[in-house]
Amino acid sequence: MSRFAELLDCFFYRPDEEVGPFLELAPEVEGVPESVVAEVPEEFLAFELAGETYAVPIAVVREIQKVGDVTEVPRAAPNVIGLINVRGEMLPLYDVKVRLELAGQPPVVRTKKDVGRGARVVLLRDPEGDAGILVDRVQGVVKLALSRLESAPNLGLERDAVAGIGRKDGRLFILLDLEQALS
Amino acid sequence: MTEPGLSQLCVLRVGAEEYVVDLSRVDEILPIPEVTPVPRAPGFVEGVVKLRGEVVPVVDVRKRLGVLPGQGQVLTPSGKPRNRERLLVCRIGRRRVGFLVDAVTHVLKVPRASLRPAPLASGPGRQPHVLGVCGEAGQLKLLLDVKALVAGEGE
Amino acid sequence: MAPPRALEEFVTEANEILETLSRELFVLDQQRGKEPDPDRLNAVFRGAHSLKGLAAMFGVDRLSRLAHRAEDALDALRLGKVPLDDRMIDTLIETLDMLQAMLARVSAGTSAPDLEVGADHLQDRLAELAKGRSLPAGDLLEQVGIDPQIRAVFTEYEEHRLRENVKKGVGLWKVRAVFGLDDFDTKLAALNARLKPLGEVVSTLPSSRPGDEASIAFDLVFGSGQSKSAIEAALDGATLSTLTTREGPVEVTPPPGPALSLPPQPRSPVPRPAPRWDDVSGSGLTPLAEPTSTSGLRLSPESSLRSLTQTVRVDIGRLDALMNSIGELLLIRSNINRLAESARQVGSGVALPKLWGQELQREARALERKLDELQKGVLDVRMVPLGQVFDKLTRLMRRLVRESGKDVDFAVSGGDVELDKLIVEELSDPLMHLLRNALDHGIEPPEVRRLHHKPSRGTIRLKAREQGNQVQLEVGDDGGGMDESRIRQVAVERGVATEEQTREMDRRDLLNLVFLPGFSTREDVSELSGRGVGLDVVKTNLARLSGLIDIDSRRGDGTTFTLTLPLTLAIIRALMVSVSGRTYAVPLSAVMEIASVRHADLQTIERREVFEVRGQTLPFVRLARVFRLPEVERERSFVVLVGLAQQRIGLAVDELIGQEDIVTKPLSGRLRAIPGVSGATELGDRRAVLVLDIGALMEELSRPQAAAS
């Protein structure tokens, strides 16, 4: 057996593998080991962007707001719609559709009249500075099992901003990679 | 159950790195329950948790891998970096151990042949808890040696 | 990567210790040759000691080791085992610099292998210095006859101090004081404060004869050249007795080889107290307080004195948060004012709403006054004296001057001028830059100075003064000044300006070229006999603080930089303007004047629009164009003149809205790099309004390449 094969043998599970002295104390698995993963599904906020359903982990969502006044920021990056005032905090509002190639140009939004009735600002926590994204409609919270998430299929599109795909009850949820989506 | 030649790997994050463990090891993924400290336990044992009447030892993988507080949190787009923490309950032989990790992100299906040795040249020498790597450059995931994580210091 | 929280705490704490050390060492440095104040030596010793412990606790071993060595040397020093000579002071100052450098690395989260050698070297030197001679023991104190039992409780340090007092030939006293348990700490501190001017409190011992249940007694061993009656006058009820047993004035022969290389103090002419070790204090004072339980009470006076500190350390972030709340209150206030105003007007003719409106307005005014007080209070808390930075710079300059071999006086004034903490912190680097330049390139070598009939000793000045809402800092030297023709030549060579442009420039414009990025590089500074090392960086740093920098230089007479800074960054008065329907805030501190200009009167120079105001031709900069906003065709614009002296530009806007007090909030990290915008603020209607960064805008617009486009 090559050195690496030995290492791999260590990596994969065998019910009869060696157990260190420390684990003598740990509880034993009853019966025949079966690879059944019991897990608590993670909660995601699902929302609509140009007819598709996207989702972000609920843990990163600070709050959801109606669209209010948006201050234009001259000479900012093209995906910055503007600046919004969240109880005294000045946060950037981003458009993610351009990044996702769902739209050619970011919308010009100055007041709530510039957006559809369902449109909302989803405020996200981010270590680089919290930020809002403009979504067409908020759908609600969906629970997705992490172990069932798939990597994004390669469709020959610029999809860096997609972290993965989740499915539930026949619906498709595209998970946003926020770091990429806001860059 | 698994298609031939394919391995199912559970992807988790500790600090700035992504690691994988064999999915067949994984028993449960839980939000962090209350951990009871154990006096005189080996230094790497964070304590124990009670799971359905069983007392399962818990190892903090961050500490075990020497990840500094705060390190790697940039990767989580979250103001509360710790709330994606999970307890990954794994099997080693017929025993069960809990591992505290920063996040469990998803499950990967990869051809077994795509697992390869860790490039020794890169990085500050061979990391003792890494058995190999998988995935493409830039998205490299490290094969975590869970058995080494529970072996005593200096063994 | 930012240091983790625990480390941040360490850095704050360590910084504070280092600042104290720096202050005390500075005084010791200035009083070279005089007998050092034992309290000061002690303070420095304690500082090194705390730093050692702190660093060890946080695992910053390298720093801890050096602090440990410094502590050893200081311990020997305060025990009189080694003299406080130049070598010691210089080594201590270098150690302090090294500790600061190390801390900076810790704070930045980087390692410091380059400091290793220097630190090792310092450690060796400190160890060498700490090796003192041990003094003949027993000696003096036996001669004067101090009860060995009392001596037994003295620490080595206290014994040393006692010996020093004996050597000085002053009287040794025992002061016995009894205090109530509830306030003994303040009383004891007050007694100490009264005694301090008269002599030295060598030791404070909880009394061997305790007071009753509700009181605690202290014996203070006190050395003083004052008469008994003079000391008794300061006691306020405590009792005095002599400490020594021998008859007659204390006559001692100094031990061979004085511990301190200093002349002994002249003998005090005051008659010595009757030297007997008999306590005449009687039963002490009557207890002062209600009885409280004292069982097992063992208070060391040192720990109880700690509660005397009246200061609180506050994270500047919390003050920012407070400031933000005040900003919001100010908004609410103006809303209330508006409501009151409209209630008063709507109600005309109708009695009730009108009265109610008046009432509301009165209350609103009271609220306004209180808010002003509150705002001022919080701003005051943020203010720290510039002296904090000046002290550091003085030490640095001392060293640099020593190393440079030049003969230079460094004159500092205005250290008591206070500025916002954030600004003070940010100032030290730019000031250091300017001072270093003045020394390296401003002041000529002595022989050159003599040749020009100047005193061979040069002067570098650092001066601060308050001017209304601003602080002006001056860094000046009486050196060689700048060579205009050389500046012109370099500017053209480096391509920061064309020859034609430089010919049209007046002296001031020409001098200001040195602030342009790319004007000069490190290598060729000296041949320019002048400045330019990173002056663009200095300027950028100041702009970030809403500050401006100006330069004046005369060939042969020297160079002066003038830095103008706002007192605080937290709340500023701003002029609200409107451009293409957008509102922007212009910090009023940058506004010189406002004019109205007809577009028909505009002229162009090299296709750049200019206008004239009182005989001066200034660039006419359409803000709408800079910000790429749709321009509205109009007949005239308002022009906001911003800048400094000849450096003015006119920012053309559509309308003036009025003045407001605003709290500038930083843009989220993601938008930090927006040029020309320093932050945002909110208006009464909660809309976010961008605050213009005038410094950056001027910088951008005065760049010659901008002129071409």
The boundaries of the domain holding residue C35 are: 5-130
Distance from CA of A169 to the nearest CA of C (A): 37
Residue C496 is assigned to a structural domain of this protein: yes
Q: Which chains touch B (3 or more CB pairs under 8 A)?
A: A, C
The values of phi and psi at residue C449, to 5°, are -65, -45
Q: What is the crossing angle of helices C38-57 and C5-30, to 10°?
A: 160
Q: Which residues of C touch A89 (CB under 8 A)?
A: 665
* Across C87-97, average pLDDT: 87
Q: Which residues of B touch C4 (CB under 8 A)?
A: 68-70
Considering A75-84, C77-86, C336-345, C401-410, the range whose residues carry the highest mean pLDDT is A75-84
B113 touches chain A (CB under 8 A): no
> How many structural domains does chain C have?
5
Kindly report the CATH number assigned to the domain that includes residue C124. Answer: 1.20.120.160
Same domain, yes or no, for C501 and C394?
yes
Using pLDDT thresholds of 50, 70 and 90, give the confidence band for residue C139: low
Q: Count how many pairs of residues, chain A against chain B, have C-beta atoms within 8 Å.
A: 158
Distances (CA, A) of C256 to C133, C136, C140, C156: 11, 9, 12, 20
- The pLDDT value given to residue C627: 92
Name the superfamily (CATH) of residues B6-150. Answer: CheA-289, Domain 4 (2.40.50.180)
Question: Token pair 């500092």 is at which residue?
Answer: C412
Question: SS3 of A133, please?
Answer: strand
Q: How far is Cα A108 from Cα A72, in angstroms, rounded to an integer? A: 9
Identity of the residue numbered C236: D
Distance from CA of B104 to the nearest CA of C (A): 24
**Which residues of chain B from 32 to 91 reach within 8 Å of chain A, CB to CB?**
42, 45, 54-57, 73-81, 83-84, 91
C4 touches chain B (CB under 8 A): yes
- Which residue, of C519, C544, C566, is where some domain finishes? C566
* Across C284-301, average pLDDT: 38
Q: Give the CA-trace dihedral at C395, C399, C401, C403, to 10 degrees.
A: -170
User: Which residues of chain B, if any, have pLDDT below 50?
Assistant: 1-2, 73-82, 121-125, 154-155
Residue C304 is assigned to a structural domain of this protein: no
Same domain, yes or no, for C400 and C537?
yes
- The pLDDT value given to residue A132: 94
CA closest to A15 among chain B residues: B93
Using pLDDT thresholds of 50, 70 and 90, give the confidence band for residue C279: very low
Q: Which residues of C touch A71 (CB under 8 A)?
A: 582, 680, 687-690
Determine whether the interchain pair B56/A7 forms a contact, defined as Cβ–Cβ distance below 8 Å: no
Tens of pLDDT, residue by residue over C579-620, are: 998 999 998 878 888 889 999 989 888 888 999 888 888 899
Which residues does B contribute to its contact with C (CB < 8 Å)?
68-71
Tens of pLDDT, residue by residue over A24-77, are: 667 776 654 444 445 667 889 999 999 999 999 888 898 899 999 999 999 888
Q: How far is Cα B95 from Cα B108, in angstroms, rounded to an integer? A: 24
Number of residues assigned to chain A: 183
Using pLDDT thresholds of 50, 70 and 90, give the confidence band for residue C708: very low
Same domain, yes or no, for C404 and C546?
yes
Distance from CA of B8 to the nearest CA of A (A): 10
Q: How far is Cα A34 from Cα A27, in angstroms, rounded to an integer? A: 16
Q: Which two tokens stand for residue B65?
A: 């891998």
Q: What percent of chain C has pLDDT over 70?
A: 77
Determine whether the interchain pair B94/A150 forms a contact, defined as Cβ–Cβ distance below 8 Å: no
Q: Which two tokens stand for residue C160?
A: 């040393």
- Tell whether pTM > 0.80: no
Determine whether the interchain pair A83/C669 forms a contact, defined as Cβ–Cβ distance below 8 Å: no
Same domain, yes or no, for C374 and C413?
no
For the cut 60, the answer to whether the pLDDT of residue C521 exceeds it is no
Q: Count how many pairs of residues, chain A against chain C, have C-beta atoms within 8 Å.
A: 73
Same domain, yes or no, for C285 and C342?
no
Same domain, yes or no, for C397 and C470?
yes
Using pLDDT thresholds of 50, 70 and 90, give the confidence band for residue C623: very high
Residue C503 is assigned to a structural domain of this protein: yes
Determine whether the interchain pair C2/B70 forms a contact, defined as Cβ–Cβ distance below 8 Å: yes
Kindly report the CATH number assigned to the domain that includes residue C484. Answer: 3.30.565.10
Contact C244, C145 (CB under 8 A): yes
Q: Which chains touch A (3 or more CB pairs under 8 A)?
A: B, C
Determine whether the interchain pair C686/A129 forms a contact, defined as Cβ–Cβ distance below 8 Å: no
* Across C546-567, average pLDDT: 84
Q: How far is Cα C707 from Cα C702, in angstroms, rounded to an integer? A: 7
Q: Which two tokens stand for residue C276?
A: 């007997």
Q: Which chains touch C (3 or more CB pairs under 8 A)?
A: A, B
- The pLDDT value given to residue C169: 72
Interface test with A, best of B28, B91, B136 (most A CBs within 10 A): B91
C5 touches chain B (CB under 8 A): yes
Distance from CA of A113 to the nearest CA of B (A): 30
Using pLDDT thresholds of 50, 70 and 90, give the confidence band for residue A14: confident
Pick C275 or B11 by higher pLDDT: B11
Distance from CA of A42 to the nearest CA of B (A): 9
Q: How far is Cα A106 from Cα B144, in angstroms, rounded to an integer? A: 43
For the cut 60, the answer to whether the pLDDT of residue A92 exceeds it is yes
* Across C369-390, average pLDDT: 83
- Which residue, of C550, C566, C582, is where some domain finishes? C566
Lowest mean pLDDT among B134-138, C3-7, C42-46, C263-267: C263-267
Using pLDDT thresholds of 50, 70 and 90, give the confidence band for residue C291: very low
Question: Token pair 């306030």 is at which residue?
Answer: C183
| Nearest in space to A58 (alpha carbons), one of A148, A165, A141 | A141
Pick C332 or C443 by higher pLDDT: C443
Determine whether the interchain pair A12/B92 forms a contact, defined as Cβ–Cβ distance below 8 Å: no
Distance from CA of C119 to the nearest CA of A (A): 37
**C83-89 contact pairs (CB < 8 A, 24+):** C83/C259, C83/C260, C83/C261, C83/C262, C84/C28, C84/C36, C84/C41, C84/C260, C84/C261, C85/C261, C86/C32, C87/C129, C88/C129, C89/C25, C89/C28, C89/C29, C89/C32
Strand B54-60 to B95-101 pairing: parallel
Using pLDDT thresholds of 50, 70 and 90, give the confidence band for residue C294: very low
For the cut 80, the answer to whether the pLDDT of residue C470 exceeds it is no
What kind and span of H or E run contains C597? strand C591-598
Same domain, yes or no, for C663 and C696?
yes
Tens of pLDDT, residue by residue over A164-182, are: 888 888 889 998 888 788 8
Interface test with C, best of B63, B68, B71 (most C CBs within 10 A): B68
Q: How far is Cα B76 from Cα A126, in angstroms, rounded to an integer? A: 8
Distance from CA of A140 to the nearest CA of C (A): 27
Same domain, yes or no, for C440 and C507?
yes
Query: Could you give all domains of chain A from N- to C-terminal order, each with its CATH number?
Result: 42-181 (2.40.50.180)
Q: Which of A19, A27, A148 sits opposite B107 (nearest CB)?
A: A148
Identity of the residue numbered A166: G
Computed over every residue of chain C, the mean pLDDT equals: 75
Determine whether the interchain pair C1/B71 forms a contact, defined as Cβ–Cβ distance below 8 Å: yes
Using pLDDT thresholds of 50, 70 and 90, give the confidence band for residue C148: low
Determine whether the interchain pair A84/C669 forms a contact, defined as Cβ–Cβ distance below 8 Å: no
- The pLDDT value given to residue A133: 95
Every domain of chain B and the residues it spans = 6-150
Same domain, yes or no, for C593 and C546?
no
Same domain, yes or no, for C441 and C517?
yes
For the cut 50, the answer to whether the pLDDT of residue C174 exceeds it is yes
Residue C303 is assigned to a structural domain of this protein: no
Same domain, yes or no, for C153 and C182?
yes
Q: Which residues of A touch C629 (CB under 8 A)?
A: 74
| Nearest in space to B66 (alpha carbons), one of B12, B14, B139 | B14
B30 touches chain A (CB under 8 A): yes
Using pLDDT thresholds of 50, 70 and 90, give the confidence band for residue C152: low
Q: Count how many pairs of residues, chain B against chain C, have C-beta atoms within 8 Å.
A: 9
For the cut 80, the answer to whether the pLDDT of residue A135 exceeds it is yes
Q: Which residues of C touch A128 (CB under 8 A)?
A: 669-670
Same domain, yes or no, for C361 and C454?
no
Pick C536 or C420 by higher pLDDT: C420
Pick A48 or C335 by higher pLDDT: A48
Using pLDDT thresholds of 50, 70 and 90, give the confidence band for residue C274: very low
Q: Which residues of A touch C626 (CB under 8 A)?
A: 74
- Which residue, of C350, C384, C418, is where some domain finishes? C384
Determine whether the interchain pair A29/B96 forms a contact, defined as Cβ–Cβ distance below 8 Å: yes
C669 touches chain A (CB under 8 A): yes
Q: Which residues of C touch B68 (CB under 8 A)?
A: 4
Determine whether the interchain pair C324/A88 forms a contact, defined as Cβ–Cβ distance below 8 Å: yes
Determine whether the interchain pair A92/C668 forms a contact, defined as Cβ–Cβ distance below 8 Å: yes
Pick B151 or C68 by higher pLDDT: C68
